[in-house]
């Protein structure tokens, strides 16, 4: 089968011919409907080197149809539409038993397919290690639903952990209105409708999309945005600041618009650091860098999508066009999420 693989550090991915995997006991083979192209893949492809062995197939945002169940598996049948939970854990430690396999505590846990060395979904078929990681999609199309598993789930988790701060009169700032940011804005609308949502981006196009998705205010990134957010919040700053970029200027902006007792949440992997001391961010503002989300949260994300409350703006590409899709993402030319659809 054809697979789009990460072959060499600091080189674009490559389309290669690989064998179709065979599901062993407990495993499931998925016919891939869609595999989203996340900005994290670009960070990885552009990194000087890393701990994982190459090559492996990219694609950690996956959805499709059950193709073949390995021996001993039950609960699903051939043709069922499913999304695949990405951060595979051991299933047995305390965090995994709570459904938080993103925070599996077992050393040597399996790496997520498409990110850490195991093969991902940018191929005709994807091997999933357990039915634990499959969530039924109902009538949603896997080609459109794939990004819910990361852009959707990561944003959902990052918003939900701060939802108690976001009542009437509150403000939430979303820095970076790309794939994750557009989801975060819609999740804020769905879970915390009373809050004022401020979107910040460098691209006028993204700001227009952010507004169409429910942002109350859309601001071009920079010093002016800081002044505007201070005005909107009466000089106090925002209850939640979500930085979905994570570079030095966005972290500095996030610190400047944070509020006493607020949350400053760093999701973007821009690789800069934020100094935290008595002098900033605001007093008793909690700073956290969450990774992905839990299985129960993914079930909630799918429910929100099925009820039409959140919807990813997707652009479909064939496997042959995968390198081109990443190039567009690199240049900020993907309006929502690029999804690779190996079967058309
Ligand atoms: P994307 O490319 O779709 O969106 C990034 C957005 O940031 C774009 O709209 C871009 O215009 C905007 N941007 C760039 N520079 C900016 C600036 N200075 N100020 C404001 N906006 C700016 O990327 P994505 O797939 O949504 O991913 C966003 C980030 O989240 C990436 O760094 C990715 O690696 C990371 N990520 C983290 C997790 C996690 O679990 N923590 C999960 C998925 C993605
Ligand atoms: Zn990702
Ligand atoms: Zn575990």
Whether residues 50 and 139 fall in one domain? yes
Whether residues 46 and 86 fall in one domain? yes
Whether residues 63 and 164 fall in one domain? no
Whether residues 30 and 140 fall in one domain? yes
Torsion of CA 319, 136, 184, 295, to 10 degrees: -110
- Output the CA 87–ligand 3 centroid distance in Å: 10
Burial 61-72 (b: 16+ CB within 10 A, else e): bbbbbbbbbbee
Give the ligand whose atoms come closest to the C-alpha of residue 108: 3
Whether residues 252 and 303 fall in one domain? no
Q: Is the C-beta atom of 292 inside 6 A of ligand 1? A: yes
Whether residues 143 and 11 fall in one domain? yes
Whether residues 232 and 324 fall in one domain? no
Tokens of 45: 């492809």
Domains in the chain: how many in total? 2
**Which of 91, 88, 85, 90 is closest to 62 using CA atoms?**
85
Give the ligand whose atoms come closest to the C-alpha of residue 246: 1
Tokens 């599901």, residue located: 23
Name the residue at shortest CA distance from atom 20 of ligand 1.
Answer: 201
Whether residues 205 and 254 fall in one domain? yes
Name the residue at shortest CA distance from atom 13 of ligand 1.
Answer: 176
Whether residues 84 and 216 fall in one domain? no
Q: Is the C-beta atom of 186 inside 6 A of ligand 1? A: no
Helices 179-191 and 204-212, packing angle to 10 deg: 30
- Residue 198: its pLDDT value, please? 99
Blockwise average pLDDT, block size 10, the chain, 344 residues: 97 97 98 98 94 96 98 98 97 98 93 93 98 97 98 98 98 98 98 98 98 98 97 98 98 98 98 96 98 98 98 98 98 98 96
Ligand 1 pocket test, candidate residues 148, 152, 178, 312, most atoms within 8 A of CB: 178
- Residue 227: its pLDDT value, please? 98
Distance CA 270, CA 276 (A): 17
Whether residues 121 and 202 fall in one domain? no
- Residue 186: its pLDDT value, please? 98
Whether residues 26 and 115 fall in one domain? yes
CATH number of the domain residue 144 falls in: 3.90.180.10
Whether residues 116 and 220 fall in one domain? no
Q: By residue range, what is the domain housing residue 58?
A: 2-150+293-340
Name the residue at shortest CA distance from atom 31 of ligand 1.
Answer: 268
């Amino acid at each position: 089968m054809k697979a789009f693989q990460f072959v060499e550090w600091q080189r674009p991915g490559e389309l290669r011919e690989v064998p179709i995997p065979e599901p062993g006991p407990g495993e499931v083979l998925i016919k891939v409907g869609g595999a989203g192209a996340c900005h994290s893949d670009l960070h990885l492809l552009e990194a000087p080197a890393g701990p994982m062995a190459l090559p492996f197939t990219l694609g950690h945002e996956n959805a499709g149809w059950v193709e073949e169940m390995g021996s001993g598996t039950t609960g699903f049948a051939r043709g069922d539409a499913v999304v695949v939970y990405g951060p595979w854990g051991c299933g047995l430690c305390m965090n995994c038993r709570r459904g938080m396999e993103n925070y599996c505590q077992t050393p040597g846990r399996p790496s997520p397919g498409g990110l850490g060395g195991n093969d991902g979904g940018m191929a005709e078929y994807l091997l999933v290690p357990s039915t634990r990681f499959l969530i039924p999609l109902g009538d949603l199309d896997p080609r459109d639903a794939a990004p819910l598993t990361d852009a959707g789930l990561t944003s959902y988790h990052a918003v939900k952990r701060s939802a108690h701060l976001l009542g009437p009169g509150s403000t939430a700032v979303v820095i970076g209105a790309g794939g994750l940011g557009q989801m975060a804005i819609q999740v804020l609308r769905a879970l915390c409708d009373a809050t004022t949502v401020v979107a910040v981006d460098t691209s006028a196009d993204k700001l227009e999309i952010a507004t169409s998705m429910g942002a109350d205010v859309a601001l071009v990134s920079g010093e002016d945005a800081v002044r505007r957010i201070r005005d909107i919040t009466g000089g106090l700053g925002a209850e939640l600041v979500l930085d979905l970029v994570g570079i030095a200027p966005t972290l500095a902006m996030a610190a400047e618009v944070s509020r006493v007792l607020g949350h400053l949440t760093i999701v973007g992997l821009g690789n800069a650091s934020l100094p935290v001391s008595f002098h900033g961010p605001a007093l008793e503002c909690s700073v956290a860098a969450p990774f992905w989300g839990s299985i129960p949260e993914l079930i909630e994300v799918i429910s929100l999508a099925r009820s039409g409350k959140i919807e990813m703006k997707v652009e479909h590409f064939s496997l042959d066009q995968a390198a081109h899709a990443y190039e567009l993402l690199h240049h900020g030319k993907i309006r929502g999420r690029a999804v690779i659809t190996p079967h058309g």
